[in-house]
């Protein structure tokens, strides 16, 4: 068990055993955060140790306003960060990117912003919490578009991977008054869906036209898993939607509530919900709509 310098140069009088005690060379593990353009954010942390020993390095904190894209070790994407030293050096990089944003604008018929745009950010696939913008009194929505000018239904429910812009194009209710026959006043009818808590579901639809003329009011689709309870116009309960523009703007609200046993009463398919079928059927007659039944889909 004595320490010697190595193998003797000559034989002695007794048998000898020389043992070389070896151990693996220490390795280094470095953890850093990088943003776009491989720019290092913050100060990298590193430690040295023998292979198999714990590194005791902490998971880095992602800066606010950023999200994790992936983690690489020596350039290779990994799903689990090693907690022990390997046989060779590990260069672990947390690749991050700025959170995508959604900008909501309200524009008049001249393209001028009515109010300051609202901007929200979030992790990709996380829920968008921004509310539908408030349309000024005396205006109605003409269309909703994205940053590419494409028509969309409204604000997306979740964030994507890229920045988005949602524009609500509005116009004054009486903007075309000089173009209307006999210069009658332009009125609007707004149709929306609300749950039993008074929370809006989906995007309200607004149409406008000359007072006394026929109104092709869009019959909204009741969301799947909900049932229709009642309909109000300007706060008063009714059993039908007006089919002409009146002397005041109409605010039509369809109140719904969750129903585990009800199926989605889509436009033209009310066969499975008797209490809704009667109401929507009467709406179809009042509006002059031809609602055709769809074939029931068997799962």
Residue 67 pLDDT class (50, 70, 90 cuts): very high
Q: What is the pTM of this model?
A: 0.51
Pair type for strands 90-98 and 27-34: parallel
Q: What is the spatial distance between Cα 62 and Cα 123, in angstroms, rounded to a whole number?
A: 12
pLDDT of residue 220: 76
The DSSP code for 111 is: S
Map out the domains of the chain with their CATH numbers.
27-98 (3.10.20), 99-172 (3.10.20.320), 183-260 (3.10.20.320)
Q: d(Cα 117, Cα 101) in Å, to the nearest integer?
A: 12
CB 270 within 8 A of CB 277: yes
Q: Can you tell me the distance from the alpha carbon of 183 to that of 17, in angstroms, rounded to the nearest whole number?
A: 115
Quick one: pLDDT at residue 236? Answer: 81
**Distance, CA of 258 to CA of 149 (rounded, Å):** 35
CA angle 73, 75, 81 (to 5 degrees): 15
In a 3-state reduction of DSSP, which class is residue 165?
strand
Q: Which range has highest mean pLDDT (86-95, 134-143, 148-157, 264-273)?
A: 86-95
pLDDT per residue over 150-168, tens digit each? 888 788 889 998 999 999 8
pLDDT tens digits for range 2-33: 888 888 888 989 998 989 887 778 999 999 99
Residue 182: phi, psi to the nearest 5?
A: 60, 15
């Amino acid at each position: 068990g004595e320490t010697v310098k190595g193998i003797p140069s000559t034989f002695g009088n007794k048998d000898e055993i020389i043992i070389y005690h070896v151990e693996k060379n220490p390795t280094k593990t470095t953890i850093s955060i990088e943003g776009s353009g491989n720019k290092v954010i913050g100060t990298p942390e590193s430690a040295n140790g023998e292979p198999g020993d714990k590194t005791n390095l902490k998971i880095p904190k992602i800066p606010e306003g950023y999200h994790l894209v992936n983690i690489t070790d020596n350039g290779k994407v990994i799903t689990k960060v090693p907690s022990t030293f390997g046989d060779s050096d590990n260069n672990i990089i947390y690749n991050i990117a700025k959170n995508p944003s959604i900008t909501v604008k309200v524009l008049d018929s001249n393209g001028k912003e009515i109010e300051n745009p609202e901007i929200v950010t979030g992790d990709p696939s996380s829920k968008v919490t921004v509310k539908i913008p408030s349309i000024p009194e005396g205006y109605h929505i003409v269309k909703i578009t994205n940053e590419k000018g494409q028509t969309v239904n409204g604000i997306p429910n979740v964030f994507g991977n890229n920045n988005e812009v949602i524009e609500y194009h509005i116009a004054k209710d009486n903007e075309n008054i000089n173009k209307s026959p006999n210069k009658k006043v332009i009125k609007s009818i707004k149709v929306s869906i609300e749950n039993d808590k008074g929370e809006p579901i989906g995007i309200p639809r607004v149409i406008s036209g000359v007072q006394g003329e026929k109104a092709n009011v869009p019959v909204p689709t009741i969301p799947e898993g909900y049932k229709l309870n009642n309909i109000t116009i300007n706060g008063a309960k009714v059993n039908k939607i007006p089919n002409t523009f009146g002397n005041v703007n109409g605010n039509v609200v369809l109140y719904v509530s969750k129903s585990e046993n009800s199926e989605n009463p889509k436009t033209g398919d009310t066969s499975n919900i008797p209490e809704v079928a009667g109401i929507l059927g009467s709406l179809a007659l009042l509006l002059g709509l031809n609602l055709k039944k769809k074939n029931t889909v068997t799962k």
